[in-house]
Amino acid sequence: MKRNAKLLLILLLAVLLALLIAPHIAAADLGDFGGGDFGGGSDDWIGFACTACVEIGVNEPRLIPFLILAFLIFLAVVGIRARIRKKKGLIDSYTRFSDVLTIEAYKEKDPNFSEEAVKTKLSNLYFKIVDCRMRRDAAPIRPYLCDELYERLQKEFDGHRAQGVTHCSERVAILDVALRGVARKDGAYKLIAVLETRQTEFTRADADGKILSGSDSTERFVTSEILLTRPIDAQTVTVDAKVQQWHCPNCGAPLSLNESAKCPYCDSVLDFDVSEWKIESIKTIRSIEQKT
């Protein structure tokens, strides 16, 4: 939406430029202004002004070439911008927030917050998301996701199953995880994380295993923005609380908060909150292919 607004603004500026140029071109065709080099008397100047207003009117046919020129300028700008984005592998832009705390400033509000622990959790969770996508089942990661993201992913997976295709990611490697800060919005904190990954991506037909799109030999370097959210008054639990034992509500088996969101004994989806932060959105910012 913001991108379309920018393109519209470029078009309007191009049209304005054409309108500013048009009077000078039109004035060259207005003929003699009067007796002297700079025009005649006051009556001649009034007549020139009225004529000029007519000459540069919107309905004037000679203005059409300048409007066409403005549109061509607009297309050129859009084309150049698209080529630059394609060369850089740019797909989207980072989410903008008006008020962002640094990680150090946020630690003053939440003393138990651990940057390294969050990075480790995100790295492990990314592998789980990749695995769930290949299995076409978002249930194992349900407690880690906000409701809207979970429903969107499950709808995507159901669509893959209905089409008889599987989206595969292989040779996945986490290159870097960075936390850019914590924003406050809509009564919640938003933890802004950036994930750098390398992997191969392709879509395979379930019937014959044929690759329909992508490549299993071309590595893709992806930069993703991950937004995590939690209530303003939430605090990071201590390390001791994270490793405490829980029991499956279905079969009673002992569980650890660090395990999968599915009971390894009876496959029940666990409904306790295994993380204070939940993923609100995952957005691809950059994606560059490199053949191996």
Summarize the confidence of residues 59-63 as an average pLDDT. Answer: 58
User: Rounded distance, CA 167 to CA 129, Å?
Assistant: 12
pLDDT at 88 over 60: yes
pLDDT in tens, 233-275: 898 876 554 444 556 656 766 655 444 456 666 766 555 454 4
Answer whether 234's CB lies under 8 Å from 113's CB. Answer: no
Whole-number average pLDDT of the chain: 77
Q: Is the dihedral of CA 281, 286, 291, 292 positive or negative?
A: negative
Quick one: pLDDT band at residue 42, thresholds 50, 70, 90? very low
Q: Encoding tokens for residue 263?
A: 């009971």
pLDDT for res 29: 45
pLDDT for res 251: 72
Summarize the confidence of residues 192-204 as an average pLDDT. Answer: 97
pLDDT at 70 over 80: no
Q: What SS3 state is found at 229?
A: strand
Quick one: pLDDT band at residue 17, thresholds 50, 70, 90? low
Task: Tell me 82's DSSP state.
Answer: H
pLDDT at 101 over 90: yes
pLDDT for res 51: 44
pLDDT in tens, 219-229: 999 999 999 99
Answer whether 228's CB lies under 8 Å from 191's CB. Answer: yes
User: Rounded distance, CA 218 to CA 159, Å?
Assistant: 25
pLDDT for res 86: 61
Name the packing angle between helices 64-88 and 2-27 (round to 10°): 140
pLDDT at 113 over 90: yes
pLDDT for res 122: 95
Q: Encoding tokens for residue 198?
A: 């390398």
9 or 156, higher pLDDT: 156
pLDDT in tens, 165-176: 999 999 999 999
3-state helix, strand, coil in the chain (%, to 5): 40, 30, 30
pLDDT for res 105: 96
292 or 171, higher pLDDT: 171
Quick one: pLDDT band at residue 72, thresholds 50, 70, 90? confident
pLDDT for res 164: 97
pLDDT for res 290: 82
pLDDT at 281 over 70: yes
Quick one: pLDDT band at residue 50, thresholds 50, 70, 90? very low
Share of the chain above pLDDT 70, in %: 61
Answer whether 127's CB lies under 8 Å from 140's CB. Answer: no
- What distance lies between CA 85 and its chain's CA centroid? 13
Residues paired with 166 in a beta bridge: 204
- Beta strand pairing call for 254-256 and 100-101: unpaired
The H-assigned helical ranges of the chain are 2-27, 42-55, 64-88, 103-109, 115-135, 147-163, 239-242
Fold of 92-236+276-291: Nuclear Transport Factor 2; Chain: A, (3.10.450)
Residue appearing with tokens 């986490």? 174
User: Rounded distance, CA 20 to CA 23, Å?
Assistant: 6
pLDDT for res 10: 64
pLDDT for res 68: 74
User: Rounded distance, CA 244 to CA 264, Å?
Assistant: 17
Domain with CATH 3.10.450.240 in the chain: 92-236+276-291
